[in-house]
Amino acid sequence: MHESQQLKLYRLLVENSLGLMCIHDLDGVLLVINPAVAQSLGYRVEDGLGRNLREFLSPSVRPMFDDYLQRIRTNPVDSGLLRLQAKDGAERIWLYRNVRYEEAGSPARILGHALRRKMPTAAPKTRISASTTARKDSDMDQNRSAKGVANSSPILKPQPCREQCRT
C-alpha cells in the first residue's frame, strides 16, 4: 500500500470513528477534532477548532484543567475521566487516554482519544427468578459504579495506567 493511500485510510478511520479523537497543543488549544465528538456535543467541527478545550469542560471541573496540562507536560501519557458539557448544557463523561507527541523542530502536541461513558439505565421490571435476582444485583453494582464515576471529582482525573496502555 502506498503511503498516500495509507494516510487517506487513517484519515477516514479518524473521521468515521465513534470515539473522541483530537489533537491539542500544550495550552489546550484544539488543533484537530473528529466529527464524532463535535456531533456528540451538538457542535460542528469548525466550532471547536482554535478554541481551548477548557471551554468545553463542565464548569465544575474547569479549574482542574491546569493540573491536567501540568501532568501531560511532565508525563508522556495521561488517562482518566473527562467531563464535557454539550451545547445544550448536558454533561458527557468520557474515558480518555492522551499521549504527548514530540517531533524535532515542531512544538509538542497532545493526541487525544476517548470513549464515551454511558450511564446504565434501570432494568425493566420482570418476574423475579434466580437469574433476575442475579441480574438485579449486577445492575445495582453497575449503578453504584456509575454513580461513583458521575460523582467522582475531576474531569481530567488521572487513572493508573496498566502496562498494556504504556507505549
CA distance 117 to 93: 5
Higher pLDDT: 153 or 28? It is 28
Mean pLDDT, to the nearest integer, of 92-108?
96
The predicted pLDDT at position 116 comes to 87
Higher pLDDT: 113 or 158? It is 113
Strands 77-85 and 91-101: antiparallel
The highest-level CATH class for domain 19-162 is alpha beta
* Best-predicted range by mean pLDDT (37-41, 98-102, 125-129): 98-102
CA distance 154 to 159: 11
Which pTM value belongs to this model? 0.70
Mean pLDDT, to the nearest integer, of 94-119?
93
**Cβ atoms of 42 and 56 closer than 8 Å:** no
CA distance 16 to 12: 6
CA distance 143 to 147: 6
How far, in Å, are 27, 47, 84, 108, 159 from residue 73 at the CA level?
10, 26, 21, 9, 16
